[in-house]
Amino acid sequence: QPLNQCPATISSTLENVIEEPLSFTETTDCGGDDEDEEEGQEEDDTHIQMFREAEISGLVDPVAANVVNVDAFGAKGDGKTDDTEAFENAWKKACSSAPSTFRVPKGKSYIVNQITFSGPCQSALRVQVSGSIIAPEDPSAWNGSNPKLWLHFYRVDDLTVNGGGHHRRQRSKMAVTFDSINNLRVRNLQVTNSQQMHVAFQKCFAVQAKNLRVTAPEHSPNTDGIHVTASKNVAIKNSIIGTGDDCISIVSDSVNVRAQNITCGPGHGISIGSLGKGNSEAEVSNILVDGAYLHDTTNGVRIKTWQGGSGFARTITFRNINMKNVSNPIIIDQNYCDSKKPCPKQSSAVKISNVFYKNIKGTTPSKDAVNFDCSDTVPCTEITMQNIHLVLDSGDIPNSYCANVKGSAQGVIVPTACF
């Protein structure tokens, strides 16, 4: 498949994110403060307790008395000069110092090739991106580099990355990758036009990601906005994502992932998976999507698994979600097949259970607004729907489709549940 060919950047500010609670109306902005839900808020489904028991801790901004400015190490920031070496040298200084701020100054554009910001560092570290970081356009600049990575943060515990600039990239597959990091804060970043995944958290523990804006052309394949893999205790808040693939994708070995106040569109919606590809084992549990506005997406909230896999996806909640012009608003697909050739029929499957859909409303062009296509050998179980109202764009009532699923319905369900 062709990759996204648009110029790409990373920068800071989310000027259009409004710092007020998300209203479930037709708005493309989302916000909210950085506080947890009020203690008195009703907790009327048991899935939410898991987050009370696994609150992210230790995420305190470092007191960074030592400021390491990339310009002091020879960076030009003129949008023409390769500043990679200056960034590498500045990083070595910041990482080996007392609590430090690694600063990318405002008002400049820095060309940076593939780079790994490696730890462990001497102490907690802040990265302040106030200017723009741009990947090189010339494909030859990537020779000898890992084409899958661009800005790669690796084993840097107690890290804060704060925006104030722009990250734009070409010719690499992952724009910003946070790899094997404990206690991570990422906020106020704008990432645009990645060739594939924009922001990836892999093998991370205790992550807070807030006020991110991710954009790519609607028809650019595999350009996931935020990708979570093999990570635990991850909170994604107050972010706006529009790409050619999943706005948020959560895949194997991810536990305790919470996404709140998300605006998604265009794109493929918010997905758990895909899981179980190549007869692999997958385990995903304790996932909460709470507060989202999805518009003009090919899917709404989706769980997708391949035939032949094993393991489980369980204890998943989707609640308080508005949709406008969303195809496949609610979908479980245990026969997912993203290949040019038909996938062979296999008996094993990732077990899907204990999934809760609550307070989901909106419009769809699809005749089947709810589609549960589960395995005939490993059916979906404990699927619960409460207060669902999905209608066609015309106002007519769509259908529900169920195959090999066991569940229950509570409250008013439109279209009628097919359990």
Active site residue 268: yes
**Burial annotation 379-405 (CB, 10 A radius, 16+ → b, else e):** bbbebbbbbbbbbbeeeeebebbbbbb
Average confidence score pLDDT of the chain: 85
Q: Which residue among the candidates 47, 152, 227, 268 is catalytic per the annotation?
A: 268
Sheet with 399-403: strands ordered across: 115-118, 149-154, 174-179, 199-202, 226-229, 248-250, 270-275, 301-306, 330-336, 368-373, 399-403
Q: What is the pLDDT of residues 278-294, one digit of tens each?
A: 999 999 999 999 999 99
What Å distances lie between residue 60 and 1, 43, 191, 206, CA to CA? 42, 27, 24, 11
What pLDDT is recorded for position 31? 38
407: Cβ contacts below 8 Å, ≥ 6 apart = 372, 380, 381, 382, 383, 384, 385, 417, 419
* Count of domains forming the chain: 1
- Output phi, psi for 376, to 5 deg: -75, -15
Q: Which of 55, 64, 117 is nearest to 90 (CA)?
A: 117
- Residue 112: inside a domain, yes or no? yes
Q: Is residue 252 part of a domain?
A: yes
Cβ–Cβ < 8 Å for 259, 231:
no
Residue 16, pLDDT score: 36
Please identify every stretch of the chain with a pLDDT value under 50, giving residue numbers as ranges: 1-2, 7, 13-63, 170-171
Q: What is the pLDDT of residue 343?
A: 85
Residue 122 lies in a domain: yes
Assigned domain for 32 exists: no
Half-sphere exposure of 107 (CA within 13 A, CB side): 1
Task: Look at residue 224 and give its three-state secondary structure.
Answer: coil
Please report, for the domain that includes residue 270, its CATH number.
2.160.20.10
Tell me the CB-side half-sphere exposure of residue 225, using CA atoms within 13 A. Answer: 31
Q: Are 245 and 267 in contact (CB under 8 A)?
A: yes
pTM: 0.86
Q: Identify the pLDDT of residue 149.
A: 85
Q: Are 127 and 158 in contact (CB under 8 A)?
A: no
Q: Is residue 50 part of a domain?
A: yes
The CA-based angle 69-154-190, given to 5 degrees, is 60
Identify whether 390 is part of a domain: yes
Domain that holds residue 145: 9-16+46-414
Is 322 in contact with 362 (CB distance < 8 Å)? yes
Q: Which helix (H) or strand (E) holds 188?
A: strand 182-192
190 in any annotated domain: yes
Task: Note whether residue 233 is domain-resident.
Answer: yes
